[in-house]
Structure 1
Amino acid sequence: MADGAGGAEPAGEPARGAPPPDPADQLRSAAYLRLLLLAAVVGAPISAAAYYFLHLVDAIQEWVYTDLPRALGFSGTPLWWPLPLLGIAGLLVGLMVRHLPGGGGHSPLAGFASGHTPHPADLPGILLAAITSLGLGAVLGPEAPLIALGGGLAVLAVRLSRRDVPDRALAVVASAGSFAAISALLGSPVLGAFLLMESAGLGGPILGLVLLPGLLASGIGALVFVGLNQLSGLGTAALELPGLPPFAHPDIAQFGWALVIGVLAAFLGSGIRRLGTVLSGYVERRIVLLTTAVGLGVAVLAMIYTAVTGHGVIDVLGSGEEDVGLLLQRSADYSVGALLLLVACKGLAYSLSLSAFRGGPVFPAIFIGAAGGVAMSHLPGLPMVAGVAMGIGAMSVVMLKLPLTSVMLATLLMFEDGLAVTPIVIVAVVVAHVVSARLGPRPPAPQRPPGDRGTTAAPAREQRPAT
């Protein structure tokens, strides 16, 4: 999202010393209506581009891991197959990060809040790095590149049509483009809008003015996704968890499991993030060589999992967006040991990918949380639906630091079971959020100006409220 989106206004910059504009007056203004129309116009083509981007990534991954081995005469995907693919992916992404404008986009460790609207010259590098990373099997999701590309394309379209658009209006348009790009990716345009809103820290009276164009673009984008599904025959391009068993209501035992899952997710997710952060410091020093090494490391983890369990390498590789539903449908085919090894290998591959490749942090967290929930559902008193929902919510909040979005994500993905599991998901998310905050590094203490010896606070009885 654009920097400063949290304070974006559709009008121009207010004069120095002038009172801030009234949001109600802006909502009635002709300029704001034009901004809504622009958001609607921009949202449709950006959503269409996002739809085909997602299918392109899926098609590349299907071709290189399934179709190409068969075309070369193999009966299936050979165990060693990920090594050359991810080695090449690491080499190419490392070269893109070093040499292309914009460095192929920001690191997935930065999440969403620290992103910015890319310059038009950065867009090709972001697109190529994302397609290479995701298409060849890096353990990342497509949402962060889509947000950057959607915002950048929206701003580019406005600047090509007009040159006198105020910076704050551009920030709102960039937000609308980002909303449109992920409008249906998470299963609901409202959830995508909520993710962007919470990650940007929007609030106050101006919230509605900034959010409304994005919601409009997101709703139109969702219609574009539905229409393209019907016209293209490519199928949906959004996360789906079909065929879940019915869930009546939580009980006391499941509230106890919510505490356990929250704590376990906090340790697991914090470890994944900490390892990725440490490794990224080394990768940045020799980006091409070490990104290639990271790709080979991800491949080795997938090979270990397949050699031990007999399940396909694709369980470990990729975002898991298309595979989490299959995992739940075929959960009876996975032993507890296989699920635990899957969580371990996917988690380590996730850390490696976070340190070097380009993508988003959402979908691998969802997959790991779901796999962990399925594994724990073998324990007494924990149905699979409850375990999966709490695992998704808890892992998402540890990796994203967005508690409200994580609750909505876990509950909406459960479809009819969503309302029933909401109370225990909230408990798991809150516990995971608080514990992971305790496990994370402390923020640095504020620096005192040179020569400032500090002041001693007055005793509480001497303090007076300001008049």
Structure 2
Amino acid sequence: MPSTSAAASPSVKSLLIMSVPAVLIGVASAVMLWLLDTVSGWLQDVLWTTMPAWFGATEATPWWIFTVLTLTGLLVGVVVWLVPGHAGPDSATTSLVDAPPPLTTLPSILLAVVIGLAGGVSLGPENPIIAVNAGIAVAAMARFSTAVPPTLVVMLASSATIGALFGTPVAAALVFTGAVAAAKGGGELWDKLFLPVAAAGAGAVTMHLLGGSSISFQMTPIGQADGLMLLEGVLVAAVSAAVGIAAAWALPLAHRLFHALRHPVLISFAGGVVLGVLGIVGGPMTLFKGLDQTAMLITDPGDYTAGQLALFAGVKVVALVVAAAAGFRGGRIFPAVFVGVALGLLAHALLPGIPISLAVACGTLGIVLVATRDGWIAIFVGAALVSDPIVLPMLCLIVLPIWLVVMKAPELIVTKRAVATPAT
């Protein structure tokens, strides 16, 4: 018999009423992400296409790569040091969804993120833009209405932004399923998911209408699956997870090393110098958040040798650790996706018997599982990348043994805030 102490499910009327702010938050969050992408994309084009031509260089010219990344580190350090709000919390210490920062911090966060994205830093926009959208939504809702609790507003803004980032509300629904299922108070799960899905759907549709990027690509499908493919998939995912675990182990060490410099300008400047050297080694393919470069790898996988793919993956994962450790603001998922795709294509190049779509999906699943500690995101991103329906049920099995390894491994996050105090 159902417990009489469980809270009743919300009424249809209340869900419809609450859908209005949910959809508004979804649209606004997508617009903010689109603006961030547009501004940083414009600045990226100036820095890497227009300006190099003035000096007879290109985006692949070694001295230009080194110069831009070094100056990017310097500028981000100045923002962290001098701009009010100091670019918010160190991204190396934050999760995908965290407490929203105060409004006064948001301009400095956006400035640091735009500089980093345009300058070629190997971090994505996800952590900062979720924080910014959540902060704006909480402040706006507090001003115009107190009917929606701040914790729900944060969930709606986060859902909306995740929906916009990945182009579908399903990603947000999966991410918040665990959190919602653990919430107290009873009621049907879909009653609790109703508003986050509404916000995420609005965010995803708005982003599509604005012409935002997609993470879904067409790859040669598996065709007929067999048991051997499962074992091959586990192997690829395990290797990818091992690379992610190595990065997770290295991140706190690198964080302490860079922050021993104490001053935020020196920290990010040193990071920019290292990223500049890595950029010379890996070339333009290993720069930026990695989404466009992921598309290039998946679209023309035959254009790259096994050696090049290994180089891309190795340089990118080191660049991800350095960028996160050196005070740059950004998320770790998109660079991790690039590394996973490169590792998957490398596995296919070395062992051609592995279907390319399964190799890419499993390569992505392993490292994203380490980066997010969320099996749903890892499965969803891996399946979405290759657009092969047979891959999805296989990933649901492959993720199980990989999770048993990852759950005891270090997280790709700095848990102790060894953040330099801004100079006064």
TM-score range normalised by the length of the shorter chain:
0.7 to 0.9
Change in CA separation of 1:370 and 1:153 when aligned onto 2, cut-off 3 Å: same
- Which residue is equivalent to 2:314? 344
The counterpart of 1:54, out of the listed 8, 21, 37, is: 37
- Which residue is equivalent to 1:292? 269
SS at match of 1:182: helix
1:62-461 → structure 2 map (5 Å cutoff): 62-74=45-57, 77-112=60-95, 115-162=98-145, 165=146, 169-198=149-178, 202-203=182-183, 205=186, 208-229=190-211, 236-241=212-217, 243-285=218-260, 286=262, 287-305=264-282, 313-355=283-325, 356-378=327-349, 379-415=351-387, 417=388, 419-440=389-410
Percent of aligned positions with the same letter in both sequences? 25
Residue type of the alignment partner of 2:370: V
Work out the CA distance in 2 between the residues paired with 1:259 and 1:303. 33
Change in CA separation of 1:299 and 1:202 when aligned onto 2, cut-off 3 Å: farther
- Which residue is equivalent to 1:458? none
CA contact (8 A) 1:184 1:222 kept: yes
The Cα shift of 1:244 comes to 1.3
The Cα shift of 1:92 comes to 2.2
CA deviations over 1:302-334 (Å, ceiling 9, x no partner): 2112xxxxxxx2211111111111112222111
The Cα shift of 1:57 comes to 2.1
The Cα shift of 1:377 comes to 0.3
Change in CA separation of 1:291 and 1:336 when aligned onto 2, cut-off 3 Å: same
The Cα shift of 1:20 comes to 7.2
- Which residue is equivalent to 2:11? 27
SS at match of 1:106: coil
CA contact (8 A) 1:55 1:237 kept: no
Work out the CA distance in 1 between the residues paired with 2:208 and 2:396. 31
Q: Which runs of no fewer than 5 residues in structure 1 stay unpaired?
A: 1-18, 230-235, 306-312, 442-467
SS at match of 2:56: coil
Change in CA separation of 1:337 and 1:90 when aligned onto 2, cut-off 3 Å: same
CA deviations over 1:5-38 (Å, ceiling 9, x no partner): xxxxxxxxxxxxxx977241x33565x5443222
SS at match of 1:323: helix
CA deviations over 1:36-76 (Å, ceiling 9, x no partner): 22222232233222112122222322321122212433366
CA contact (8 A) 2:59 2:284 kept: no
Work out the CA distance in 2 between the residues paired with 1:171 and 1:101. 26
Work out the CA distance in 2 between the residues paired with 1:143 and 1:193. 16
CA deviations over 1:283-315 (Å, ceiling 9, x no partner): 33423212211111111112112xxxxxxx221
- Which residue is equivalent to 1:450? none
Residue type of the alignment partner of 1:342: F
The Cα shift of 1:339 comes to 0.8
The Cα shift of 1:196 comes to 4.6
With 320-329 and 106-115 compared, the bigger mean Cα shift is at 106-115
Which is higher, the Rg of structure 1 or of structure 2? 1
Change in CA separation of 1:249 and 1:295 when aligned onto 2, cut-off 3 Å: farther
The count of corresponding residues between Structure 1 and Structure 2 is: 402
Give the TM-score normalised by structure 2: 0.87
Change in CA separation of 1:279 and 1:198 when aligned onto 2, cut-off 3 Å: farther
CA contact (8 A) 1:239 1:322 kept: no
Change in CA separation of 1:437 and 1:43 when aligned onto 2, cut-off 3 Å: closer
| Aligned-residue CA RMSD (Å) | 2.5
Give the TM-score normalised by structure 1: 0.79
Work out the CA distance in 1 between the residues paired with 2:175 and 2:122. 21
The Cα shift of 1:367 comes to 0.7
Residue type of the alignment partner of 2:143: L
CA deviations over 1:421-459 (Å, ceiling 9, x no partner): 124323443333222334438xxxxxxxxxxxxxxxxxx
CA contact (8 A) 1:134 1:142 kept: yes
SS at match of 2:11: helix
